[in-house]
């Protein structure tokens, strides 16, 4: 497993920052500027959503040796219990909450568990998310609503409640990691709703990073490209024509590297990051390219896929 504090693991972070204009938010010490201190992982108490597999489970693994408490939330209780057993560490307190965070009842169940902790968590990792490959007009209303409910509504309400509950101070700041996507930087035909939800996530994160800095709360939007997790499997439709994902192998970054880079970026004060040099370069091009040119490329790719 990758060491989140190994500088070799993080060699892509500075490249990501340079390629996309992402820089640490200046002097991170609290002073007359009111800026929050750098967030440090040792001793943190974290809530991780979507923790049963993929990036969520990897965050739990990489925080195992530094965190004091982990609250793991996902729909699959069995998977969470297996992960809890895997994390076996006498000094680490692990709590699992099997719930559907896209519902008010599911979010209430999570906060009920959090309320039993002696100290409110100071790190929220909003990882739970859902995608949907395919034509917009062939998607069911339930599929569309599920993406909005989980990617936007759940993330926003969890963030709001976390800020209300956390006891961030100058000595013990709090932090929020929101998992966005490279797709947040560009329209994506056949993945249009998902890409739009991730644009929301990135924009919300950067806006609130400014608002909440004086409260000693840091925010980071993590924008990975294709990552070998269950996301792609869950995003496919049964018996439907799959979307064209040619060329995505060039942008693939393993979960271990995504998570280690994200944790490093949080500690150094980034507000948005793209794990991997190629992902950072792609984001730079998507954002700097003239829109007419980007639309032309996307249109040609879409028509090519439809002709197959």
Per-residue model confidence (pLDDT) at position 36: 59
Strand ranges of the sheet holding 45-49, from the earlier edge strand across to the other edge? 93-98, 69-74, 45-49, 123-126, 174-179, 217-222, 272-273
Structure tokens at 167: 């006891």
CA distance 43 to 80: 22
Q: Which is nearest to 280 in space by CA: 198, 239, 224, 221?
A: 224
Sign of CA dihedral 211, 213, 218, 222: positive
Q: Which residue has the higher pLDDT, 250 or 122?
A: 122
Q: Which is nearest to 60 in space by CA: 75, 76, 45?
A: 45
Task: Find out whether 40 and 4 touch, Cβ atoms under 8 Å.
Answer: no
Distances 236 to 190, 232, 240, 282 between C-alpha atoms, Å: 11, 6, 8, 24
Structure tokens at 37: 């201190």
pLDDT digits (tens, 9 = 90+) for 48-105: 999 999 999 999 999 999 999 999 999 999 999 999 999 987 789 999 999 999 999 9
Instruction: Choose the CATH number for 11-306 among 3.30.70.270, 3.40.50.300, 3.40.50.720, 3.30.2010.10.
Output: 3.40.50.720
pTM for the model stands at 0.84
CA distance 27 to 37: 9
Per-residue model confidence (pLDDT) at position 90: 77
Whether the predicted pLDDT of 258 surpasses 70: yes
Whether the predicted pLDDT of 23 surpasses 50: no
Mean pLDDT of the chain: 86
Chain-centroid distance, C-alpha 154: 13
**Alpha helix segments (H runs only) across 115-190:** 141-147, 155-165
pLDDT digits (tens, 9 = 90+) for 114-156: 999 999 999 999 999 999 989 999 999 999 999 999 999 999 9
Query: Going by DSSP bridges, is the β-strand pair 93-98/45-49 parallel, antiparallel, or unpaired?
Result: unpaired
Q: Where are the domains of the chain?
A: 11-306
Per-residue model confidence (pLDDT) at position 24: 34
Structure tokens at 34: 């009111």
Q: Which residue has the higher pLDDT, 11 or 163?
A: 163
CA distance 306 to 308: 6
Residues 6+ apart with CB under 8 A from 183: 191, 194, 195, 198
Q: Give 248's pLDDT tier (boundaries 50, 70, 90).
A: low
Whether the predicted pLDDT of 20 surpasses 50: no
Per-residue model confidence (pLDDT) at position 231: 54
Per-residue model confidence (pLDDT) at position 1: 42
CA distance 16 to 306: 33
Whether the predicted pLDDT of 188 surpasses 60: yes
Whether the predicted pLDDT of 10 surpasses 70: no
CA distance 227 to 248: 10
Per-residue model confidence (pLDDT) at position 230: 60
Neighbours of 218 (CB within 10 A): 27
Q: Which residue has the higher pLDDT, 20 or 58?
A: 58
Residues of the chain with pLDDT > 90, as a percent, come to: 73
Per-residue model confidence (pLDDT) at position 307: 86
Q: Taking the CA atoms of the chain, what radius of gyration do you get in angstroms?
A: 19
pLDDT digits (tens, 9 = 90+) for 208-235: 999 999 999 999 999 999 886 665 555 4
CA distance 46 to 53: 16
State residue 48 phi and psi, 5-degree precision: -125, 120
CA distance 182 to 286: 9
SS3 49: strand
């Amino acid at each position: 497993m990758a060491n989140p504090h190994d500088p070799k693991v993080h060699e892509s972070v500075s490249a990501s920052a340079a390629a996309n204009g992402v820089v640490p938010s200046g002097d991170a010490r609290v002073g007359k500027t009111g800026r929050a201190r750098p967030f440090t992982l040792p001793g943190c108490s974290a809530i991780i959503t979507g923790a049963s597999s993929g990036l969520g489970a990897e965050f739990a693994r990489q925080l195992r040796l530094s965190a004091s408490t982990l609250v793991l939330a996902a729909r699959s209780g069995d998977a969470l219990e297996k992960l809890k057993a895997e994390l076996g560490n006498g000094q680490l307190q692990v709590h699992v909450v099997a719930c559907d965070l896209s519902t008010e009842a599911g979010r209430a169940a999570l906060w009920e568990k959090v309320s039993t902790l002696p100290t409110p968590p100071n790190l929220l990792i909003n990882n739970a998310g859902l995608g949907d490959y395919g034509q917009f007009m062939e998607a069911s209303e339930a599929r569309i609503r599920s993406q909005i409910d989980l990617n936007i509504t759940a993330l926003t309400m969890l963030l709001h409640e976390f800020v209300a509950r956390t006891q961030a101070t100058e000595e013990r700041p709090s932090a929020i990691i929101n998992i966005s996507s490279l797709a947040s930087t560009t329209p994506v035909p056949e993945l249009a709703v998902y890409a739009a939800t991730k644009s929301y996530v990135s924009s919300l994160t950067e806006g609130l990073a400014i608002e909440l800095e004086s409260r000693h709360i840091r925010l980071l939007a993590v924008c990975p490209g294709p990552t070998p997790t269950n996301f792609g499997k869950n995003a496919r439709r049964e018996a439907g024509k799959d979307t064209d994902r040619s060329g995505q192998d060039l942008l693939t970054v393993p979960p271990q590297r995504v998570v280690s880079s994200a944790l490093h970026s949080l500690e150094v004060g980034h507000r948005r990051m793209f794990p991997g040099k190629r992902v950072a370069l792609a984001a730079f091009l998507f954002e700097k390219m003239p829109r007419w040119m980007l639309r032309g490329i996307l249109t040609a790719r879409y028509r090519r896929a439809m002709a197959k």
